[in-house]
A = this chain, B = another copy of it.
Amino acid sequence: MEKVNRISMAVIRRLPKYYRYLGELLDKDINRISSQELSNITGFTASQIRQDLNNFGGFGQQGYGYNVEELHKQLGKILGLERTYKAVLVGAGNLGQAVANYKGFEDAGFKLLALFDKNPKLIGLKIRDIEIFDVDHMENFINDNGVEIGIITTPKEQAQGVADKFIKSNIKGIWNFAPTDLKVPENVVVENVHLNESLFILSYMFKEKNRK
């Protein structure tokens, strides 16, 4: 076992933001940035930015700051964006189709190989060249193609069942849009997109801000 000084989720969740802002700086041909300037842009404190980055290594240089291109590249590596992931999606309704059309997939190295649904009306259709298959064929497909990532955009009632099939087929990462918490073994990671919770929080914040 390698020395893995466990990095807190609070830090991890800031990394994509750093990565995004660095990408924007790159586009503007800015090639050098200090933690203070990054602080101005991102809203995180300079101290926090330096702490965060130093969890992964000393990417900066005293008296100079950080090289934007280099730091962007390193963060990409840390986030695992240098490789590709084979993915499938289950639940090819509105949300599933929107996710399948999602342009950001490529940026993260995700390659969507197939969609699955149980609705006969959807089976055979294609979303930007990706075919919708009968969900009964899913486990074979995953095994045959070495799929590693599963995306769940089904109603919540089906979500755990789909996750169980994923797990049986040796999928190791799940992007879950169903409004439920999946039970998975310790070696499988789940990232949730809970739109209902997000809306509730918007509702809460709106109410708090707008009270007399």
Contact = CB atoms under 8 A, between A and B. Distances in A.
A172 interface: yes
Report copies per complex. 2
A104 to B, nearest CB: 4
Which residue among A2, A107, A196, A203 has the maximum number of chain B CB atoms within 10 Å of its CB? Answer: A203
Interface string A55-75: 000000000000000000000
Contacts of A30: none
B191 A202 contact: yes
A173 B205 CA distance: 8
A125 interface: no
Interface of A: 2, 4, 12-13, 15-17, 19-20, 43, 78-81, 85, 94-95, 97-99, 101-102, 104-105, 107-110, 148-149, 172-173, 175, 179, 181, 187-189, 191, 193-211
Which residue among A197, A202, A205, A207 has the maximum number of chain B CB atoms within 10 Å of its CB? Answer: A202
B80 A199 contact: no
Nearest to A204: B79
Nearest to A98: B98
A4 B173 CA distance: 41
A108 B204 CA distance: 10
13 contacts: A4-B208, A15-B204, A16-B201, A79-B201, A80-B207, A98-B99, A110-B199, A149-B206, A172-B206, A173-B205, A173-B206, A188-B209, A191-B205
